[in-house]
Amino acid sequence: MTVSEVLALLESERDERGMKAWEKLGPRTGGLRSHGIGLTRLRKLAKRIGCDRALSLALWRTDVYDARVIALLIDDPAQITRDQAERQVGELAGGMLAHVFASCDATLAKTPFMVELAEAWIRSDDPVRRDCGYGLLYEASKLSGRKAPSDEFFLAQVERIANTIDGEPENVRLAMATALMGIGKRSAALNKAALKVAQGVGPIEFTSASGTCEPFDVAKHLTTDRLKEKLGLQVLRVAG
C-alpha cells in the first residue's frame, strides 16, 4: 500500500467519538491530528497491511497519530537501528506514542538490542525515554530462555523502581508499575521482591483520553491464585 492509500483507509475507519476524546487532550497531542481509531482496530489494520519497512518510515513522517501507530506496528525489527530508535523516541509527540513505541508487543521490543536500550533509557534524564525504557523492560520480562536477562538484572531494576518511583511523573510511574508487574510474574523470588515494592507504593492513579481510570494495583496482579500456582507459591483457599 502507499501512504495515500493508508491515509484513505484511516479516514474511512474514523471514529467521531474517539476524535472528540483526542481533541480534549489539547497540548498532549503534540500537534498531531487523529481519526480517533482505537489501538485494537489499528492492530487489525496493520495486520492487513503487513510488514513494510519503507511504508513504515513514510507513515512516520505524517502528522496523523493513527498513521504513526500503523508505522510502528508494520516496521521490520530486523532493520531497526539504534540510531532510528533514538531519533524516533524524540519524535513521540510529547509521549503520546510511547506505549505503542516501546510496549504492546512493539516492533522495537523485538530488536536484538532491546534490553540494552531499555537499561540506557531507564537511566536517562528524559522522562519520555524513561517511560519507553520501562515499557521495554516490561517486554523484556516476558522473554524466556537464552534471550532473557538474569534474575539479578531484574532484581536490580526492582530496586531502582523502589528508589525512584515516588518522584516520577504519572506516565513514567505507570510504565514502572507495568514493568514491576511483569517482573513479578517471572519467578517466586522476583514475585516476592516486586510484591514488596508494589505494596509499599500502592495503586497507581493515572488518566487516559477517556478520563480518569481505576488505579493500577500491581499487588493485585501479583497475588492471584493462578499466578501463585504457576510460581509454586502457597494458595490459601477459604472453605465454603
Cell numbers that stand for 109 in this block: 521490543
The count of residues in the chain is 240
Beta bridge partners of 207: 212
pTM: 0.91
What pLDDT does 237 receive? 53
| Angle subtended at Cα 174 by Cα 173 and Cα 178, rounded to the nearest 5 degrees | 115
Task: Tell me the backbone φ, ψ of residue 168, rounded to 5 degrees.
Answer: -90, 155
Beta bridge partners of 188: none
Residue 143: closest CA among 91, 199, 151: 151
Residue 28: closest CA among 123, 128, 124: 128
Residue pair 64/10 in contact (Cβ under 8 Å)? The answer is: yes
HSE toward the beta carbon, residue 170, CA cutoff 13 A? 10
pLDDT in tens, 21-67: 888 888 888 889 999 999 999 999 999 999 999 999 999 999 999 99
The percentage of the chain sitting over the pLDDT mark of 90, rounded to a whole number, equals 79
DSSP per residue over 161-202, as a string? HHHHGGGS-HHHHHHHHHHHHHHHTT-HHHHHHHHHHHHHH-
pLDDT in tens, 166-200: 999 999 999 999 999 999 999 999 999 999 999 99
Residue pair 219/204 in contact (Cβ under 8 Å)? The answer is: no
pLDDT in tens, 9-27: 999 999 999 999 888 888 8
| Angle subtended at Cα 131 by Cα 15 and Cα 203, rounded to the nearest 5 degrees | 85
Is residue 226 pLDDT above 70, yes or no?
yes
Residue pair 183/157 in contact (Cβ under 8 Å)? The answer is: yes
Average predicted confidence (pLDDT) for the chain: 91
